[in-house]
């Protein structure tokens, strides 16, 4: 793919995220169909980098507007969740093949922020009822665990551990994530949420996880208080 073709692919992804609806899989499948057919798996694989770029552009806008407060962080988290849910919908449009493409690509991706977003997106699919998606996800832990072991950045490792948690492997998340996610929330609360089967408590844990990942990725670590000990590659 030459430079012009690469730019066309990026432009197509920008159009997708501008038009996509986080709660409308049918709409998103329809608006992405032509580009999915044209670009194949590349459309899916490059999307997380476009999300990273969009998040950092919002941080820049906030900085230029002298915004550096809880409201700005909340806005950033809402925007990030919107983009990630649209990405989740895109993966579903690709079906089981999309899941397998992402899982097999993880070991080849050097950017840990991209890995973190892919891992979270896979985690968000764990409760899907589609039997083909569930079948494709069954093999994911065998690839996710080696990635968790070899990755360095805290946000990336939390995302991978969270994906493993949602796919049935509790230990990596339980032993690694609570100290970093605690912040103003007692560590014991995070630990209890890790083993909870209640849907409301699982959603609460997800909010803690995705909020922290988005802030880490968007700010390149600057939004995380230094005393929390987060690391970046």
Residue 199 burial by CB count (10 A; 0-12/13-18/19+): exposed, middle or buried? exposed
Integer Cα distance of 164 and 173 in angstroms: 8
List, in sequence order, every beta strand (DSSP E) within the chain: none
Integer Cα distance of 180 and 224 in angstroms: 10
Q: What is the pLDDT of residue 115?
A: 98
Q: What is the pLDDT of residue 68?
A: 79
Q: What is the pLDDT of residue 13?
A: 98
pLDDT in tens, 139-178: 999 999 999 999 999 999 999 999 999 999 999 999 999 9
Six token digits for residue 167: 């796919």
Integer Cα distance of 219 and 206 in angstroms: 20
Q: What is the pLDDT of residue 137?
A: 96
Integer Cα distance of 41 and 226 in angstroms: 38
Q: What is the pLDDT of residue 62?
A: 94
Q: What is the pLDDT of residue 38?
A: 97
Half-sphere exposure of residue 136, counting CA atoms within 13 Å on the CB side? 24
CB count in 10 Å sphere of residue 195: 11
CB count in 10 Å sphere of residue 54: 18
Are residues 72 and 58 in contact, defined by beta-carbon separation less than 8 angstroms? no
Let me know how many helices (H) and strands (E) the chain has, helices first: 13, 0
Q: What is the pLDDT of residue 55?
A: 98
Integer Cα distance of 116 and 24 in angstroms: 24
Per-run averaged pLDDT (10 residues), the chain, 233 residues: 90 98 97 97 97 97 89 95 98 97 96 98 94 94 97 97 96 94 81 89 93 95 86 92
Q: What is the pLDDT of residue 184?
A: 67
Q: What is the pLDDT of residue 226?
A: 79
């Amino acid at each position: 793919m030459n430079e012009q073709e690469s730019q066309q692919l990026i432009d197509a992804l920008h159009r997708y995220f501008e038009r996509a609806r986080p709660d409308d899989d049918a709409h998103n499948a329809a608006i992405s169909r032509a580009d999915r057919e044209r670009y194949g798996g590349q459309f899916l694989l490059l999307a997380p980098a476009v999300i990273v770029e969009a998040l950092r552009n919002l941080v820049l806008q906030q900085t230029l507007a002298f915004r550096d407060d809880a409201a700005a962080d909340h806005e950033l988290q809402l925007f990030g969740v919107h983009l990630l849910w649209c990405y989740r919908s895109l993966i579903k449009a690709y079906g089981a093949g999309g899941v397998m493409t992402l899982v097999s690509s993880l070991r080849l991706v050097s950017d840990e922020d991209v890995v973190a977003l892919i891992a979270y997106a896979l985690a968000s699919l764990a409760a899907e009822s589609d039997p083909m998606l569930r079948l494709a996800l069954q093999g994911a832990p065998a690839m996710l665990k080696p990635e968790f072991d070899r990755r360095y950045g805290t946000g990336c490792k939390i995302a991978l551990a969270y994906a493993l948690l949602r796919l049935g492997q509790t230990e990596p998340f339980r032993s690694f994530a609570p100290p970093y996610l605690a912040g103003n929330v007692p560590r014991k609360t995070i630990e209890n949420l890790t083993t909870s089967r209640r849907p409301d408590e699982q959603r609460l844990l997800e909010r803690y996880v995705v909020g922290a990942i988005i802030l880490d990725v968007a700010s390149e670590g600057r939004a995380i208080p230094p005393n929390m000990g987060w690391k970046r590659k």
